Structure 1
Amino acid sequence: MTARPDRLYDLLPVVYRMRDAEQGYPLRDFLRVLSSQADVLEQDIARLYDNWFIETCDDWVVPYLGDLLGYTLLPEAATLGEDGRRDASLGRVLAPRADVANTIDARRRKGTLSLLEDLSRDAAGWPARAVEFYRRLGWMQHLDHPHPQRGGTADLRDPGRLQRLGWANGAFDPFAHSVDLRRMGSRHRHGRHNISAVGVFACRLRSYPVNCTPAYCIEERGPQCFSFSVLGNDTPLFQRPVAETEPTHIADERNLPLPLRRWRFAERGPLADYASVSAELYGDGRSVQVWAPDWPAKGQGVPVPRDALIPADLSGWRGQVPRGRVALDPERGRLMFPANQRPKRGVWVSYQYGFAADLGGGEYARVTPELEGATRYVVHATLPGRAASGNWPAGHFGSIADALTAWVQAKATTPALRALVIELAESGVYEGSIDLQLDAGEAIQLRAAERTRPVLRLLDVRASQPDALSVSGRAGSRVLLDGLLVVGRGIEVHGPGDEAATDDDLCELLIRHCTLVPGWALHCDCDPKRPGEPSITLDGTRAALRVEHSILGAIAVISPERRGEPPPLELCDSILDATGMERVALGAPDEAVAYVEASFRRCTVIGEVQAHGIALAEDSIFASPLRVLRRQQGCVRFCYVAHGSRTPRRFHCQPDLALAAVAAADRAHERLRVMPQFRSRRYGTPHYLRLADGCCVEIRSGASDRSAMGVYHDLYEPQREANLAARLAEYVPAGTDAGILFAN
């Protein structure tokens, strides 16, 4: 239907419309059909016109426009189709719109250093710093043309310059070096300091914001000790990148998503001491800000003034903080107040943290489907300038429990209500026990507001009962969780019981863009506090569990007595972390295997998987054995499967292909070579479960589309790196040896 279905009919003379009305409007109905087809034709003509321009064309047109300009495509780009989400996302990497749009401008600037940084941003999506290594060579300068700004010998009395020597992989190294004869583009090991060498230091980690969230009090160290992370773990603070204003400007520290250094974070006084923090990094809209209501005196501390902060090394929580000052460690994400002047009303912080992708709960843009005809309630958290209050407008509440109570009352008044959306408005902490009991056909969505990261803290308040987020429902009911960070306990889904009908059960639990902290909580070093506890327990239920773009701990399945066919369990673009290779990531506490039909697509699994069946496992990493009871059905394709696994039929899996290509005597060594190597295996670190650069190519580019296996598959890092290497070879001056280095 169109906005004006009778626009052709209105063009007819009145006499024909009068005659048509006398006969029951057959001509009007016929022209309505013609009008709908005319609308389709007009939309197609408008789309064809938009496809003439790189700014408005469809994704599949971008390679064709680039071909008109002589834009060099990678070979994989020729195999892409027009349909399919994954093909479209890969196409945007192989033929980036910004890179094609800037092709002519890049050719005009060919041979300039700043162009290499733009190529990294446009072709690979990585902010970068370009360095001419011949400027770092130690050689005698001409007396008539001195360059005092170039590198010299190291001054051991200047710790700030010494810290930059290896920081960010040497991207900001200020010293002179001897000649390195290895080539910059060598596939074995990059050589750096040579006359022809040019390096592009790319930043693959992103800087994500967290706005006005409570800091965590480290009570075992003292009530004056706080962590920026609401989980209590150490986290390096990153800086909010500042956009470059000039196209010829070479990026420095403030322009890249890099972790903060204590030396740069400090503003030094006349005695070269750590007087306060830098005005460039602290304050509203900057990298860090702290609120401490009524500290040090009533009416102060919202926010804490910049001159009250002292950059410090709080690695051991040692030192004495002067009254009226706050010590801040940006490299560990710690705060320390004076022991005799503690904040009584809590501490709130805003900061940036580093991570590789839009995964788990976070303040990034995400698409959240709406429930049709749903009632919407908004729940607020306590903020530093707003105390908890009971005077909320209609539809607004101070806790999730109050919103659920209001929903029960609304259903009693209007029985036709069947859908509820509870939106958590701020990136604060929402505490209390939650028990969701759904009626038949009811749907409840607990979601984060746009660009927020609410924390759902489940407290251990009942000694005789578990305090998990409890979910149960009847036939056709659904629970949806979107954009949450759940800490303290897990989620328990309960079935209808032995005496109830098996079909009178919760239909589906859908988890999207959430983090269910593996191990429930973290120590300061990111070790889990309860490593053996599951994040999700399916207790006697046949509900379908679907997880998308999330991080969660182990899944425990307790099957009902009357089973039937195994219920589906699907994980997509997610991390399933049992916090240890020897632990069980998916299993049953009272049986050999979990009675589910599991599916894994682009997932990284730490821990054993013990399932009744596997419908499909694709582009995933199973770091521990995968054991399946029903092997006649299902398929495992383009996955890494650990030694000792029992699976359905495999297709192009590792290390099977690598072992088949070598002699029997070399298979033990080959099995050790073809193993996933992670930068970090602890949740809470910036490189959480990212493949190391030294990991074998069979895993780093072993997925079905030659991307990396595992949860970071959709980053398409091998394709981005190949695309950037091709652009560098095209635009650097003749005789220059250019290479890609990674700053983080």
Structure 2
Amino acid sequence: MKRISEDRLYELLPLVYRLRDAEQGEHLKALLRVITEQVNVVEDNISQLYENWFIETSEDWAVPYIGDLVGYEPVREAGEPGAAETGQGRERNKILIPRREIANTLRYRRRKGTLALLELLSNDVAGWPARAVEFYRLLNRCQAINHLGENRAQTADLRSGGALDLLDGPFEQIAHNADIRRINSRHTFHHTPGRHNIPSVGVFVWRLRSYPVTKTPAYCLESVAARCFTFSVLGNDAPLFVRPEAEADPSQIAGEFNLPVAMRRRFFEDHKSQLYGEGKSLHIWVGKKKPRGKEVIPEPVPLDSIVAADLSDWQYLPKRGYVAVDPLLGRIAFPARQFPKNGVWVNYHYGFSMDLGGGEYERSLIQPEDCEIFRVGRDEAFATIRGALEKWNEDAPRHAVIEITDSGVYAEQLNVSYREGQESLQIRAANRQRPVLRLLDWQTDRPDSLTVNGMQNNRFTLDGVMITGRGVQVSGAITELTLRHSTLVPGWSLGSDCGPQRATESSLEIFSPRVCVTIEHSIIGSIQVNPALIDVEAPARDEGDEVDEQTLAGDEASLAACKGIGEGVRLDPIRLCISDSIVDATDREFEAIGAPGCPVAHACLTIRRSTVFGRIHAHAIELGENTLFDGRISVARRQQGCLRFSYIAPGSRTPKRYRCQPDLVENAVDVPALNPADKEAAKERERLRVRPRFNSVRYGMPTYCQLAVDCAEEIKGGADDESEMGAFHDLYQPQRMANLRVRLDEYLPARMDINVILAD
């Protein structure tokens, strides 16, 4: 089609002129191609101008103008639109001026005052699934004999466990006494919002999303019993989430099947047929061997064999022929003498805030044009990654991609070593897949990390994978290392409570002298930049030791390796670029970025829109913006670089700061009228107030790294574009919330009060 388009003017010429032009070297053809190119540009522009008449096909810049035609007014409380020239500005503008909301403006006005409209507004304006609740339906009231209320709420019944499970939630069924507090009151020291009153309407919103995991092995807890399994391949307890389904009727109020909610045990027991099975919220297969053969075939566990149970202490023992499932903990139990010997596979859904780390979500794949692709999977040419690596070494292509086409678990010993002529290698997951590389303790006399040894101009990329059991080691003169949409499990592996098993171990060790490390949209444990390129003795230093000027000066002989003095040590700092990621040392007192035996890592750090749990000891920070540093920072070069719009842990040694916390709140109370003692006490109160609060700091939990409701507004809206600091910056949740509150008030019936309630 492209060739036809390029020569379409030339083909309009009579054949005699084209023949004569071909005899003379096709100069006329080349001229008309240039003219055709400009004609195509003009035609495409005219076509796009026509497309800009419609909200579904218009360009982003035209959306506000179409909105103005239907009387749409942007919400000023959410902030002013950003610069359309930048990617961040365009993404922010999509939240501030939602295309879907403008498309449905007239539809909203026709349905104003209906309860289902409030749920639709939440979906279209903020992108959050919601359930609207009229709290007057949950009020205690006398029953009129002549007007029976069959669907009214009832008094609490202690024998009704299902109703008690839903207490104070969005699906509550128990009646309450009247609460005279207004539901939309601001939460202050003197005022708290209430719920149960006649004019009160609550919109419960879910910020977590439900992500699928397809046909992946379950984890056998051999330390407990061979019959005990977890859905999570990491062995941790994780609640199973519902796979949301759209409402059949636009006027229908959303139920548990329509929302990304964590499953309750009773809910699973009552609706097994709708939740369990192929293409539903969860499914289980058990391996069966073929007669007279070694091939194992996964056979689905029938619905009639599934029972819901409380497996908190693994005390429940299912009867023979049955399988117990605990959706609240994500556990599976088989009968004592009927446990599976040939494997268990599962489909399930887990909850998380956004597309971050390895996961079965839509992501773009980047590769060189002339690359050779080696596919690994159940029905592919290679059954193992190691087999694909051997073929890669044998063929030695310049650019290569090893693509894993399923969400299986690959327990292999992986060592990547480049040869002459090989330039780049990617180990990646296919789109919407999440393979797990499980690195085991294969050798007794050396580490078992995924090792990458490259030469100058070599590039290595991990994309869309999860690595557990060990970390990654990079050595040699390799030029570039990229981690994209990947997870290197912090602490290597998890316990049942999501606690790290090897809390002090690093996920990434760097021995290369000039490598440039790029980490994007990933979750990773601590990063260690080894000063020695070969075994060089260095003085030991505890994780929690402070770094002061005297230590930085140090003894020249003992810190030779750290300073780049001597044979086999690094001379120049490497570049470490992190964006939209989480670096988790598993504790704020451990090193998130550092060097073994050295005061600081020999690395220049650039970090944007990320969250760091742990201390940073680095040569320099060239730029840090919109980032939460939940641990002290110590840099050797304070005159180089800057930090802006970030939270910096008190006591940090950093380069110049601009509009960072808690500096801003400290300066606000630094008034001459206060005496020094009161001034310091006020500063300490402000430091504690703006310290980031998270719903969870343990990887594996659905609310991992999510800012808590009571987190300070200076953190939740402290980025340069008034979004939240940290790895979830690009969700633009403050803008979504401001948009939603204003729109709900606009379409609410008269004399009603409304509030947005976070359900997760």
Task: Give the TM-score normalised by the residue count of structure 2.
Answer: 0.90
After superposition, the Cα gap between the structure-2 partners of 1:376 and 1:735, relative to the gap in structure 1 and judged at 3 Å, is same
Aligned partner (choices 235, 252, 257) of residue 255 of structure 2: 252
Q: CA deviation at 1:15?
A: 6.5
Q: CA deviation at 1:324?
A: 1.3
Q: CA deviation at 1:295?
A: 9.5
Query: Is the contact made by 2:491 and 2:503 (CA closer than 8 Å) also made in structure 1?
Result: yes
Return the alpha-carbon distance in structure 2 between the equivalents of residues 266 and 467 of structure 1: 43
Confirm or deny that 1:646 pairs with 2:653: yes
1:366 counterpart residue number: 363
1:181 counterpart residue number: 180
For 2:622, give the aligned amino acid. A
> Considering only aligned residues, what root-mean-square deviation do their CA atoms show, in Å?
1.9
Q: Residues 206-225 of structure 1 correspond to what in structure 2 (within 5 A)?
A: 206-225=209-228
Query: Is the contact made by 2:603 and 2:618 (CA closer than 8 Å) also made in structure 1?
Result: yes
1:46 counterpart residue number: 47
Aligned partner (choices 489, 497, 501) of residue 470 of structure 2: 489
For 2:703, give the aligned amino acid. H
Return the alpha-carbon distance in structure 2 between the equivalents of residues 341 and 78 of structure 1: 63
Confirm or deny that 1:283 pairs with 2:277: yes
Q: Residues 132-211 of structure 1 correspond to what in structure 2 (within 5 A)?
A: 132-166=134-168, 170-188=169-187, 189-211=192-214
Q: CA deviation at 1:297?
A: 11
Q: CA deviation at 1:82?
A: 2.1
Q: Residues 614-693 of structure 1 correspond to what in structure 2 (within 5 A)?
A: 614-663=621-670, 664-665=679-680, 666-693=682-709
- 1:377-407 superposed Cα distances (whole Å, 9 cap, x missing partner): 11125xxxxxxxxxx77xx111111111112
- 1:483-523 superposed Cα distances (whole Å, 9 cap, x missing partner): 1010000000113xxxxxxxxx1011100000000000011
Q: CA deviation at 1:363?
A: 0.6
Query: Is the contact made by 2:81 and 2:96 (CA closer than 8 Å) also made in structure 1?
Result: no
Q: CA deviation at 1:30?
A: 3.6
Bigger mean CA deviation after superposition, 170-179 or 644-653 = 170-179
Return the alpha-carbon distance in structure 2 between the equivalents of residues 294 and 27 of structure 1: 70
Query: Is the contact made by 1:296 and 1:324 (CA closer than 8 Å) also made in structure 2?
Result: no
2:543 counterpart residue number: none
Aligned partner (choices 401, 405, 408) of residue 428 of structure 1: 408
SS of corresponding position for 1:610? strand
Return the alpha-carbon distance in structure 1 between the equivalents of residues 81 and 256 of structure 2: 39
Aligned residues: 706
Bigger mean CA deviation after superposition, 661-670 or 71-80 = 71-80
After superposition, the Cα gap between the structure-2 partners of 1:400 and 1:20, relative to the gap in structure 1 and judged at 3 Å, is closer
After superposition, the Cα gap between the structure-2 partners of 1:509 and 1:24, relative to the gap in structure 1 and judged at 3 Å, is closer
Confirm or deny that 1:723 pairs with 2:730: no
Query: Is the contact made by 1:575 and 1:603 (CA closer than 8 Å) also made in structure 2?
Result: yes
Q: CA deviation at 1:112?
A: 0.4
Return the alpha-carbon distance in structure 2 between the equivalents of residues 562 and 522 of structure 1: 34
Return the alpha-carbon distance in structure 2 between the equivalents of residues 317 and 524 of structure 1: 12
Aligned partner (choices 476, 488, 509) of residue 457 of structure 2: 476
Q: CA deviation at 1:137?
A: 1.4
Query: Is the contact made by 1:2 and 1:36 (CA closer than 8 Å) also made in structure 2?
Result: no
Query: Is the contact made by 2:81 and 2:93 (CA closer than 8 Å) also made in structure 1?
Result: no
Q: CA deviation at 1:2?
A: 5.6
SS of corresponding position for 1:739? strand
2:611 counterpart residue number: 604
- 1:643-669 superposed Cα distances (whole Å, 9 cap, x missing partner): 011111111100000110014241111
Return the alpha-carbon distance in structure 2 between the equivalents of residues 138 and 427 of structure 1: 51
Aligned partner (choices 411, 423, 443) of residue 442 of structure 1: 423
Return the alpha-carbon distance in structure 2 between the equivalents of residues 126 and 630 of structure 1: 44
2:350 counterpart residue number: 353
SS of corresponding position for 1:460? coil
After superposition, the Cα gap between the structure-2 partners of 1:10 and 1:326, relative to the gap in structure 1 and judged at 3 Å, is closer
Query: Is the contact made by 2:696 and 2:705 (CA closer than 8 Å) also made in structure 1?
Result: yes
Query: Is the contact made by 1:619 and 1:638 (CA closer than 8 Å) also made in structure 2?
Result: yes
SS of corresponding position for 1:292? strand
Q: CA deviation at 1:114?
A: 0.4
1:294 counterpart residue number: 288
Q: CA deviation at 1:540?
A: 4.2
For 2:597, give the aligned amino acid. D
After superposition, the Cα gap between the structure-2 partners of 1:178 and 1:507, relative to the gap in structure 1 and judged at 3 Å, is same
Q: CA deviation at 1:25?
A: 5.5
Q: Residues 304-319 of structure 1 correspond to what in structure 2 (within 5 A)?
A: 304-319=301-316
1:414 counterpart residue number: none
Return the alpha-carbon distance in structure 2 between the equivalents of residues 429 and 583 of structure 1: 30
SS of corresponding position for 1:691? coil
1:58 counterpart residue number: 59
**Structure 1: stretches of 5+ with no match in the other structure:** 268-276, 382-391, 412-416, 496-504
Bigger mean CA deviation after superposition, 63-72 or 480-489 = 63-72
Confirm or deny that 1:541 pairs with 2:513: yes
SS of corresponding position for 1:279? helix
Q: CA deviation at 1:172?
A: 0.8
- 1:2-50 superposed Cα distances (whole Å, 9 cap, x missing partner): 6333333333456666776787655544433322111110111111111
1:523 counterpart residue number: 495
Q: Percent of counterpart pairs with the same letter?
A: 49
1:700 counterpart residue number: 716
Query: Is the contact made by 1:296 and 1:341 (CA closer than 8 Å) also made in structure 2?
Result: no
2:374 counterpart residue number: 377
Aligned partner (choices 461, 483, 503) of residue 511 of structure 1: 483
Return the alpha-carbon distance in structure 2 between the equivalents of residues 8 and 471 of structure 1: 53
Query: Is the contact made by 1:93 and 1:720 (CA closer than 8 Å) also made in structure 2?
Result: yes
Q: CA deviation at 1:740?
A: 0.2
SS of corresponding position for 1:89? helix
Task: Give the TM-score normalised by the residue count of structure 1.
Answer: 0.92
Query: Is the contact made by 2:63 and 2:99 (CA closer than 8 Å) also made in structure 1?
Result: yes
Return the alpha-carbon distance in structure 2 between the equivalents of residues 140 and 63 of structure 1: 51
After superposition, the Cα gap between the structure-2 partners of 1:564 and 1:152, relative to the gap in structure 1 and judged at 3 Å, is same
Q: CA deviation at 1:97?
A: 1.2
2:538 counterpart residue number: none
